[in-house]
Structure 1
Amino acid sequence: MTPHFVPPQQPTGGPSGKPGRKLGPIAESVGSTHRAWLEPLRSSFLASGMTISDMSAQTGWAKSKISELLRGTGLYPRWEITHSLLSLLGVPTWPMRRLWTSAAREARKKPEWIERCVEKQVLSAEDPPLDHGAFTELQADAYLAYATVFLSPREQAVRAVRDTFDILWLGWNDALASSDVVKYAWPVLRRTVMTRARHVDGRPELSDAAFDTIALRAATTSDEKFAQIEESVVLFATMSWLPDHQLDVMVLRHLRGMEPSEVADVLGVPIASVRSDERHAKHTLETALCTEQDSEGNPT
């Protein structure tokens, strides 16, 4: 079992050399998956007490290259230099390499380039902490059910869920230190999914979900199916504007058919909160749909 990641302790006597220049912020151009692995790497670097000069001396990489990597500037970094910094800082390399690979795809790197990079560093498979593995097994199905509502094809949803668990692995100590691991983890999944989902006017696109509803599957004629799709498109367009917590409850309850207790277990909130969010969301949707019907001259 791989031990929980603990940033390396600063040797007695404080950091070597001069303090060095303060590390700049992550570049705004950095993609969501790139940021997902870069942030914990930067945190480990800052917690280590080392300077970029120290890292350069111990890895052999130029200070400019290390600085670019830690800020996300320049070209997407090769796995070789990334792996060197991970090893020096004691960061688990197995989840990092998967996130690095996903981010390389996001950066439009060719598969041949990715393969050439990773084949230079042979890694032994690492097992996550046992409690992380148990958490993954417990939440994986629900996380995937949620992700497939927003991400298509299914492979994208599968990758988003896998990346979520890798991000949690890297920050597992923080998750355990929180008041509730389940509640801590849900925003990580949501952020991972939403940064990859299509958006319209700043809200997640739900139109694809109109083609996968219980009502549509129950329709028998072409006219019934067309009418159901039309109604669902309007409903889901309205649903996307719900507050985030209400949207999540409605997706899990009514698009994935989960019971209130199951939704509470996935989100890490009381059942009463789930019922309240569902009630308010339904009221908002009913009001919006009635207004839409009135504007078209239809009876309410």
Structure 2
Amino acid sequence: MTRYGTSRAAEAPPLQPDHDPSSHHLSITFEAFHATHSRKWLTYAYLHTGGEAAAREVTRAAFQQLYRLWPHALRQASVEAFAWSVLKERVVEWLYDHQQPTALTETAAFAVVTQALLRECQQQFALLESQLGLYAAISRLPERQCDVIVLRHVIGYGDGQIAALLGVDEATVRSHASRGKRKLAAALGIDQGTTRGNQP
């Protein structure tokens, strides 16, 4: 289960769309998708908006829009990628409407990213003195690289799930992750080939 801060925002928001008896199968498939992704989507929205109420608002709006578009979504090459684009649009729209930049660097959940990256990339980040430096560096990554880092290390999606969400293959996900880590090391002035033990 994804955890961030002490907020109750990890709880999935209830969704009760109007059910049309003639579309019972569509409702079942939508409810299954909602059950699978609601907590993770809520975490993503929380990371960017920085607040529980805002995250619930954004996530609910995204799922309501997706429910209206569900028959269309099921005809897409990737339902996950189409749905992800709906959530991303809602997040961007909320940030624009509230004239607010992403809250990635302020969100307590980003401590999860830091610890995961420090464990996975011990050599690259062994000399890191300020976690805030890493937060800021992650937020400045190209969008796809930032999303892969967040989806992997905060939200808990596997590479296969990330590939489906972003509409790419797993090799591309791994490439984004690798490039993101290299950019983080460069941005933080850390030589990826050095270790704590052989520093002058």
Per the normalisation by structure 1, the TM-score is: 0.45
Residue 234 (structure 1) aligned with residue 133 (structure 2): yes
Indicate how the Cα distance of structure 1 residues 178 and 267 shifts in structure 2: closer, same or farther if over 3 A, else same. Answer: same
Residue 161 to residue 125, structure 1, CA distance change in 2 (3 Å): closer
Residues 52-131 of structure 1 mapped to structure 2, 5 A cutoff: 126-127=18-19, 129-131=27-29
- The match for 1:260 is 159
Select 1:193's aligned residue among 91, 94, 110: 91
Q: Name the CA shift for 1:203/1:282 in 2 (closer, same or farther; >3 Å).
A: farther
* Shift of residue 265, structure 1, vs aligned partner: 4.6
Aligned residues: 158
SS in 2 for 1:208: coil
| 1:198 and 1:204 in contact (8 A); partners too | no
Q: CA deviation digits over 1:250-295, x for unaligned, max 9?
A: 111223344323433544532222111101111111111118xxxx
- Conserved in 2, the CA contact under 8 Å of 1:210 and 1:232? no
The within-5 A match list for 1:101-180 is 126-127=18-19, 129-180=27-78
Amino acid at match of 1:145: T
Report the alpha carbon displacement of residue 235 of structure 1 after superposing the two structures with TM.
1.7
Show structure 1 runs of 5+ residues with no match.
Answer: 1-97, 99-123, 217-229, 292-298
Q: Which of 160, 170, 175 is 1:276 aligned to?
A: 175
**Residues in 2 aligned to 1:204 and 1:275: alpha-carbon distance in whole angstroms:** 24
In structure 2, give the amino acid aligned to 1:245. R
Contact 2:145 2:177 in 1 (8 A): yes
Return closer, same or farther for 1:170/1:253 CA change in 2, 3 Å cut-off: same
TM-score by length of 2: 0.65
Q: Which amino acid aligns with 2:27?
A: P
Give the counterpart letter for 1:272 in structure 2.
A
Distance 1:125 1:179, change over 3 A: closer
CA distance in 2, matches of 1:276, 1:187: 21
- CA separation in 2, counterparts of 1:289 and 1:179? 39
Give the fraction of aligned pairs with identical amino acids, expressed as a percent. 29
Gaps of 5+ in 2: 1-14, 20-25, 116-128, 191-198
Q: Distance in 2 between matches of 1:259 and 1:268?
A: 14
Residue 142 and residue 210 in structure 1: after superposition, are their counterparts in 2 closer, same or farther (change >3 A)? closer
Which structure is higher in RCO with an 8 Å CA cutoff and minimum separation 6? 2
Equivalent position amino acid for 1:235 in 2: L
Which secondary structure does the structure 1 equivalent of 2:189 belong to? helix
- The residue identity in structure 2 corresponding to 1:133 is E
Alignment partners' CA distance in 2, 1:251 and 1:173? 29
